[in-house]
Structure 1
Amino acid sequence: MLWILLATITAFAEATRNVVIKGKLSTLPAQFVSWVWVTVTLLFLLPTLWFLPPVTLQPNLWGYWLASVLINTLAILLFTLAIQMSDLSLTMPMIAFSPLFMLLTSPLMLGEFPSLIGVVGVVLVVIGSYLLNIQERSNGYLAPYRALLREPGPRLMLGVAVLWSISANLDKLGVQASSPVVWIILVNMGLSLAFVPLMLRQTRQLRQMRVASGMVVALLAIGMLDALALITQMYALTLTLVAYVISVKRAGIIISVVLGAVLFKEPGFRERLTGTLVMLAGVLCIAFA
């Protein structure tokens, strides 16, 4: 079960990266943080090409690549904005919806069909998201959902979950048409270029920006952590179904929720952790359906 180990490493690396973005980089423009994120990741990944055997690139690779770059440019920007704008313990659980959306995208794109137990998983994810704001229940049955969607971070992260439910399938197709490392290097090259015009639209903010030495270390750290997460995720995708890998990877949400409460003193920890655990139970049902 090597894929479980690889997906778990991915989860820990991504959770740590999210904490760094929230704790050290929340005051910087999201376009700049996103560009540095993918560019530093690329720089850490490039040396690995030296150790790879020759790879044959399939003709259909470039269509998958273009689609992945376009989708992930928007997803990463929304992801960074969501973390900067709202509590980690409220924002990160929204990513648990991505395996739910993959019940639709994976059959359409890959022909991978989970069994009926996936329906149980869907119900648990919905219940868990309700519990995230259960303290609002006194204001009406739908108040927890309304309270959740009033926050900009959870709204943005729900959009990220939709986008990543598509791009995760593109990742598998791209890896099959190349190799795990070559695919993530190509995608990060495209992302690095795609964020340049977005940054240029923030010229005034960038001129006024002050980057402390601690921020420089943080920017390097998110790139290094993302490189580790990407390599382990792409290799895991070659060993099992996409939904399985993404579901184990989403266990990192628990880490983000706990660290958000401990490091940033975010409120409502008990309700948010309970909701997160229920959502992850649903994710596991979907994964192993």
Structure 2
Amino acid sequence: MLTVIVSVTAIAVIIRIVANPLSNVFQKQLAQRTAHPLFIISATYGFLALACLPFGQQLKFSGLPTVFWATMLLVGLFAMLGNVFLVKALQIGDLSVLGPINAYKSIVGLVIGIFLLNEMPSMWGLVGVVLIVWGSYVVLTARTSIDHRRFSWRIIQQPEVKLRLAALVCSAVDGAFLKKAILLSTPMIAFFYWCLFGFAFTLIWVVFTLRHQWQRQAKLLVSQKFVYLALFLTVGITQVASNVALAHMQVGYALALFQTSALVSVLFGHHFFNEQGILRKLIGASIMVVGAILITTLG
């Protein structure tokens, strides 16, 4: 039984590592084509919520504890904010740089996991997280305009980095509360309400802030329907895989392992958007992979 759980979790992590950078590619493509970040996220949530409805018999609409609903409200709020910040960051920044920044999410996840879920990391687990964060910094400083020898506040002051850091904090908080919701239900039930509450929050935001743009955004959705569809599918696969992994792993470890997708992000950023500094970025991403190996084998 343990072997089955480990295998399912490993497969979920691998799927997530590949699917998430792919979803970032489609988000960046849409943002570059004047799609509004909030509309992109709202459409994604809405499509995924509708896609879940045919499986309503397998989803529990009653009998869930009150704490589950309170937790999912927080999940929906933080997930919405994190995703909007992320797409806005992708709109103005390099995918191969912004992807690795997300590694810092694992630190936030570790801290929140200790207090919210009583998850205590091991020494080797902490070493693995440190390596992943270090590797992300190597990628982050890969551009020639930044001094590689020391930390520079110029990095933090870049608008796209500020947005990405805000996104990762929201996402880490979302991940910790999401795991709590998963433990109170199942990965698929939590996924459905993640979509539903996320759509409700973003729709309210769209009504108040995009009421003069929604027609143009809807036309863009139709003209870019295949990119949007690819985005919906990759985001759905990413979140389902994340939920399965979170159900069987500590939040900090899971978030750290997810960040090894930086290697894929670097390759996608170079291939799809001709982003530069590929060698240093690959070195940094490789350091992150070593950290992930430590977590999975010794953590």
- Would the TM-score normalized by the shorter structure come out above 0.5? yes
Could you tell which deviates more after superposition, 231-240 or 35-44?
231-240
CA distance 1:16–1:130, shift in 2 (3 Å): closer
Alignment-derived partner of residue 13 in structure 1: 19
Alpha-carbon distance between aligned partners in 2 of 1:62 and 1:178, rounded to the nearest angstrom: 11
Alignment-derived partner of residue 4 in structure 1: 10
Alignment-derived partner of residue 236 in structure 2: 227
Q: Do the aligned partners of 2:9 and 2:245 also contact (CA within 8 Å) in 1?
A: yes
Alignment-derived partner of residue 130 in structure 1: 137
Secondary structure at the residue paired with 1:154? Answer: helix
Alpha-carbon distance between aligned partners in 2 of 1:176 and 1:163, rounded to the nearest angstrom: 20
Matched letter for residue 238 of structure 2 = A
Can you list the C-alpha shifts for 1:239-287, whole angstroms capped at 9, x where unaligned? 3333343333322222121011011101111122222332343455456
The one of 215, 218, 223 equivalent to 2:227 is: 218
Can you list the C-alpha shifts for 1:94-118, whole angstroms capped at 9, x where unaligned? 1111112222111111111111234
Alignment-derived partner of residue 60 in structure 1: 67
Moved over 6 A (4+): none
CA distance 1:122–1:204, shift in 2 (3 Å): same
TM-score (norm 1): 0.88
Q: Do the aligned partners of 1:100 and 1:283 also contact (CA within 8 Å) in 2?
A: no
Alpha-carbon distance between aligned partners in 1 of 2:263 and 2:175, rounded to the nearest angstrom: 21
Could you tell which deviates more after superposition, 26-35 or 113-122?
113-122
Stretches of structure 2 lacking an aligned partner (at least 5 in a row): 1-5
Aligned residue pairs, count: 287
The one of 48, 52, 65 equivalent to 2:55 is: 48
The one of 238, 241, 262 equivalent to 2:247 is: 238
Q: Do the aligned partners of 2:132 and 2:287 also contact (CA within 8 Å) in 1?
A: yes
TM-score (norm 2): 0.85
Structure-to-structure mapping, 1:19-34, within 5 angstroms: 19-26=25-32, 27-34=34-41
The one of 243, 261, 270 equivalent to 1:261 is: 270
Matched letter for residue 211 of structure 2 = T
Q: Do the aligned partners of 1:72 and 1:163 also contact (CA within 8 Å) in 2?
A: yes
Matched letter for residue 204 of structure 1 = H
Alignment-derived partner of residue 83 in structure 1: 90
Alignment-derived partner of residue 180 in structure 2: 173
Can you list the C-alpha shifts for 1:24-52, whole angstroms capped at 9, x where unaligned? 44321111111111111222222233456
Can you list the C-alpha shifts for 1:164-191, whole angstroms capped at 9, x where unaligned? 2222121111112122111111121111
Alignment-derived partner of residue 3 in structure 2: none
Can you list the C-alpha shifts for 1:49-105, whole angstroms capped at 9, x where unaligned? 345689741232111111111111111111111111111001111111111222211
Structure-to-structure mapping, 1:180-219, within 5 angstroms: 180-200=187-207, 201-209=209-217, 210-211=219-220, 213=222, 215-219=224-228
Identity of aligned residues (%): 22
Stretches of structure 1 lacking an aligned partner (at least 5 in a row): none
The one of 110, 114, 128 equivalent to 1:107 is: 114
CA distance 1:165–1:151, shift in 2 (3 Å): same
